[in-house]
Structure 1
Amino acid sequence: MRRGQLCLLSVGIGISLAACSATAPEARIDSELEFAPSIWSARKEANTPVDHDWVKSFGDASLSKLVNEALTKNPDMTVAAERLVRAQIAANVAGAGGRPEVTLGASGNKQELGGMGFGRPESYGVDLNVGWEPDIWGRYRKEQSAAIADAQASQQQYRAARSSLAAQVCKAWFALAESNQQVKLAEEALKTYESTQSSIQDRFERDMQAEGGSASQLRLSQTDVATAKAELSARKSDREMAQRQLELIVGRYPAGKEQGKVKLPKVPKQVPAGLPSELLLRRPDIISAERQYAAAGARVREAELAVYPSFRLTGSSGFSSSELGNVINSDMGVWSLGIGVTQYLFSGGRILGEINSRRSVDREAAAQLHRTVLQGFAEVEQALAMEKWLAQRERDINEAFELAAEASQAAEDDFRDGNGDVLTLFLAQNRKIVLNTQVVSIRRLRLNNRVDLHLALGGGFYIK
């Protein structure tokens, strides 16, 4: 084939491809923006900016390192990444119907008319065929535009998966830290009960019933010791489970070797609420739902454009010769051009049915977006409300623990001096120990809720 013909064909293909290029559909979230309140109902204070590096806000470099490891090794992230890859490929392939199709063919024919005494006619050829349906009405561009929106939705779903995994790592890290503290508290409780048992044992052996020593009191102290041992075993079991769970989330073999921190970090003071309207432009699941709604709208228009006539342009160019060696150099060029027009006159309701079906999908996508927006607002409001009440609970429990600690110390002093009864000592010690474990538990609840708040607000994080 002559070089000039190839160049001319290449230019034509380039022009047609440029004509079929598509862009993402416009945003369809205006009605939801009007729905957003001006302030959060659960937070009356001034709105502080959303934290865009919330993992590091907990002040633990080891936690940031684990989040980074999870994002690299967790199998769920590989699954999410591959889904995004397929969505991007689909966006690139979509709209192919409006692009030229080029095929290169070769043929050869050799025939012998046996018994007739005739010769052997031979024919060889090479040809290049081009078919193209120009996207005059933009139907294929709408198809590709919808696929681009799908890819954008998948990208937001991938982002949401990353944030969700980071939150899981944080919560598992806090659970392990709490377990470490609870084991330590259980060990301290066992020592306290053993010390009390030893004092009662000494008093009982000296037969000082008048001062409070009795067999029942000794048995009660022994029961407390046995119960404390069982509690310590349970706490150690919980810690091992927390270790394995964290390792599994990170993507390691769950060997139970991750030690974690010895105690929980402090809850960051700043509550990054931001503005309600910003939530719709930041939270990945809302953006994903909006992109799916935009894709549905583009597909409705694609179906509506199917009623317009379609044009099909065809062309071919090649060479033929009776000698195989002369095909490429032959001057016997063969070419053809053709055009076809197709207009649906009657399709048995298929086109109208497809339009109505896609309109139904569009309405469903709008409802899904509205539901996602409402759910997003609800999660933020709930997390903000929990932030307030959990903080109040922590203050109250800390106050109760301090009082219980003072009561326990006073009961121990009175018992040691021979002025107090042993039942008061048992009660005071038990209250102190129980409240001490609650102080740790409420701290983890507050940390977990802060993670939920960051997720609900769509806050980002940067991990090196």
Structure 2
Amino acid sequence: MIPSRASAIFMAALLGGCTLHSPSSRMDAAGTAPESWSATREARSGVDHRWVKTIGGSPLVSLVDEAQRANPSLQASAARVDQAAAVAKIAGAERFPTLGAGTQASRQKQNFLGQASTANTFGVSLQAAWEVDLWGKVRSGAEAAMADAEAQQQNDRALRSSLAAQVSKAWLAVAESNEQVALADQAVKSREESSTLVRERFERAIADDGGSAAQVRLSQTELSTAKSDLERRRGERERALRQLELLLGRYPSGNVASGAKLPKLPAIPPAGLPSELLLRRPDLLAAERQLAAAGRRRDQAVKALFPSISLTGSLGTSTDQLEDILKSSAGVWSLGGSLTQPIFQGGRLRGGIEQAEAAEREAAANLQRVVLDAFGEVEQSLIAEIYLRRQEQELTHAVTLSQDAAERAGEEFRTGTGGVLTYIAAQNRQIEAASALVSVRRLLLDNRVNLHLALGGDVVLRGP
């Protein structure tokens, strides 16, 4: 009866452990969120989780989906999530007893007063040991590891969204490069036309300002400059293609589909309330989980000052005959316990508390910094949208005017009523305005990607 009673006591102590829970939210340490965004008073709730398709349609969705599957950085992040989960599992296992089985065999010879004797000993045993987490020290460490794992999961979410944004911007860079190459090619044709007109006037020796050799050289200079700019634009497109391939996890050979064009700017997504940002942005949630983990580690450091209680037990057999090793008549068992109170550690435990407290203060400050940066990113994207739209509007007007001016200057030059300098200057303005408009359209789309990222929505690629 004694062995079974001892086993029952041991199991009761084992089952008395408390269940682990993820540390409660400490987002209150982030400070008070403003009631509304300063750049907009609109506060519709929710975000566009399908913003990738909203911006680039199915072609961009396919590229982001490929990157999500093949990008090495994302694969490394997934491995870090698995590592953090394994660490949390290891930390949680410390709350439970260790159980091991073993066998032993020995042969001993003794000489006493000329008498020799030999003894054999055989046995099997089952050993158990458990540090009773009476004060919750081990539980605090396990919950800290759990919060670390949750933080890593949020970091992975943030990286996935960031990768989607990088692929989107790289795709938009390719699209802009395609349009800039087309504009540069058109500029070369315009320069060729104007150079031909100037040369013809010179050859006919027309006695006006279009008939000088200097103006011929000027038109040829503009043509060479336009050709140089075309090659520059082509080089930018090749670099953009290779950057996109790297994000996709491909070898940068420049073979990715390159027919993209800048899409129309979609409607601005709902910004919601600043307080909602604290509940959905993965980098904010990761920083909060890191603060929660730091708080649990501070608790663990404080509880290290308390006594530790350990229980040990074993059950097995011991016999001098190998064939009797599994017989119950050869059974042996033992139970033991110990209580240890730290008295002098040379300041190690107190130093551990100070270190944990400082780490918690650092995590709190980091949370406040990340929250402030997040608010700033949303505000900057919202205000940039306003001024980029105004810039786009003015450049659209400038393109219309410059096209009309270039056409009139060309007509006047052909009829001999206009000068070559005016003709070339009008062409320059038209080329510059058209190129600037394409760049601003791309900046608007890039800023829209930044806004979606700043609002903290998940990236949903498929589904209704």
Give the TM-score band, short-chain normalised.
Answer: over 0.9
Select which of 370, 373, 396 maps to 2:368. 370
Distance 1:48 1:20, change over 3 A: closer
**Which whole-Å CA distance do the structure 2 matches of 1:186 and 1:309 have between them?**
78
**Which whole-Å CA distance do the structure 1 matches of 2:5 and 2:457 have between them?**
52
Q: Are 2:99 and 1:102 equivalent residues in the alignment? A: yes
Pairs within 5 Å for 1:281-300: 281-300=279-298
Q: CA deviation at 1:19?
A: 1.4
Select which of 389, 393, 399 maps to 1:401. 399
**Which whole-Å CA distance do the structure 2 matches of 1:291 and 1:307 have between them?**
25
Q: Are 2:342 and 1:312 equivalent residues in the alignment? A: no
Distance 1:285 1:110, change over 3 A: same
Select which of 337, 350, 354 maps to 1:339. 337
Aligned AA (1:60): G
Question: 1:122 is matched with which residue?
Answer: 120
Q: CA deviation at 1:232?
A: 0.9
Moved more, 40-49 or 337-346: 40-49
Q: CA deviation at 1:70?
A: 0.6
**Which whole-Å CA distance do the structure 2 matches of 1:361 and 1:275 have between them?**
31
Question: 1:429 is matched with which residue?
Answer: 427
**Which whole-Å CA distance do the structure 2 matches of 1:64 and 1:19 have between them?**
48
Question: 1:153 is matched with which residue?
Answer: 151
Select which of 220, 229, 232 maps to 1:222. 220
Aligned AA (1:392): R
SS where residue 118 of structure 2 aligns?
Answer: coil
Question: 2:41 is matched with which residue?
Answer: 44
Q: CA deviation at 1:276?
A: 0.4
Is the contact between residue 167 and residue 247 of structure 2 (CA under 8 Å) also seen in structure 1? yes
Q: CA deviation at 1:117?
A: 5.4
Select which of 42, 55, 60 maps to 1:58. 55
| Residues matched between the structures, number | 460
- CA deviation vs aligned residue, 1:340-374 (integer Å, no higher than 9, x gap): 11122333332222222211111111111111111
- CA deviation vs aligned residue, 1:370-394 (integer Å, no higher than 9, x gap): 1111111111111111111111111
Is the contact between residue 291 and residue 360 of structure 2 (CA under 8 Å) also seen in structure 1? yes
Q: CA deviation at 1:11?
A: 10
Aligned AA (1:350): R
Aligned AA (1:82): A
Distance 1:313 1:262, change over 3 A: closer
Q: CA deviation at 1:461?
A: 1.4
Distance 1:242 1:390, change over 3 A: same
Is the contact between residue 36 and residue 43 of structure 2 (CA under 8 Å) also seen in structure 1? no
Aligned AA (2:54): S
Select which of 414, 417, 420 maps to 2:418. 420
Q: CA deviation at 1:135?
A: 1.2
Question: 2:326 is matched with which residue?
Answer: 328
Question: 2:85 is matched with which residue?
Answer: 88
- CA deviation vs aligned residue, 1:213-271 (integer Å, no higher than 9, x gap): 22122111111111111111111111111111111111001111123334211111223
Aligned AA (2:411): D
**Which whole-Å CA distance do the structure 2 matches of 1:170 and 1:344 have between them?**
58
Pairs within 5 Å for 1:252-291: 252-291=250-289
**Which whole-Å CA distance do the structure 2 matches of 1:268 and 1:354 have between them?**
54
Is the contact between residue 43 and residue 272 of structure 2 (CA under 8 Å) also seen in structure 1? no
**Which whole-Å CA distance do the structure 1 matches of 2:370 and 2:21 have between them?**
25
**Which whole-Å CA distance do the structure 1 matches of 2:92 and 2:312 have between them?**
19
Q: CA deviation at 1:118?
A: 3.0
TM-score (norm 2): 0.94
Question: 1:67 is matched with which residue?
Answer: 64
Q: CA deviation at 1:96?
A: 3.5
Pairs within 5 Å for 1:158-177: 158-177=156-175
**Which whole-Å CA distance do the structure 1 matches of 2:195 and 2:285 have between them?**
62
**Which whole-Å CA distance do the structure 1 matches of 2:117 and 2:16 have between them?**
52
Is the contact between residue 171 and residue 260 of structure 2 (CA under 8 Å) also seen in structure 1? no
Is the contact between residue 381 and residue 448 of structure 2 (CA under 8 Å) also seen in structure 1? yes
Select which of 385, 388, 393 maps to 1:387. 385
Q: CA deviation at 1:119?
A: 4.2
SS where residue 340 of structure 1 aligns?
Answer: strand
SS where residue 106 of structure 2 aligns?
Answer: strand
Moved more, 104-113 or 366-375: 104-113
Distance 1:18 1:330, change over 3 A: closer
SS where residue 280 of structure 2 aligns?
Answer: coil
The root-mean-square deviation of aligned C-alpha atoms, in Å, is 2.2
Aligned AA (1:123): T
**Which whole-Å CA distance do the structure 2 matches of 1:107 and 1:383 have between them?**
71
Identity of aligned residues (%): 47
Distance 1:262 1:297, change over 3 A: closer
Is the contact between residue 209 and residue 420 of structure 2 (CA under 8 Å) also seen in structure 1? no
Moved more, 207-216 or 240-249: 207-216
Instruction: Give the gaps of 5 or more residues in structure 2.
Output: none
Is the contact between residue 304 and residue 355 of structure 1 (CA under 8 Å) also seen in structure 2? yes
Is the contact between residue 54 and residue 460 of structure 1 (CA under 8 Å) also seen in structure 2? no
Aligned AA (1:259): A
Is the contact between residue 321 and residue 330 of structure 1 (CA under 8 Å) also seen in structure 2? no
Is the contact between residue 20 and residue 98 of structure 1 (CA under 8 Å) also seen in structure 2? no
Q: CA deviation at 1:197?
A: 1.1
Q: CA deviation at 1:304?
A: 1.6
Q: CA deviation at 1:105?
A: 1.9
TM-score (norm 1): 0.94
Instruction: Give the gaps of 5 or more residues in structure 1.
Output: none
Is the contact between residue 202 and residue 211 of structure 2 (CA under 8 Å) also seen in structure 1? yes
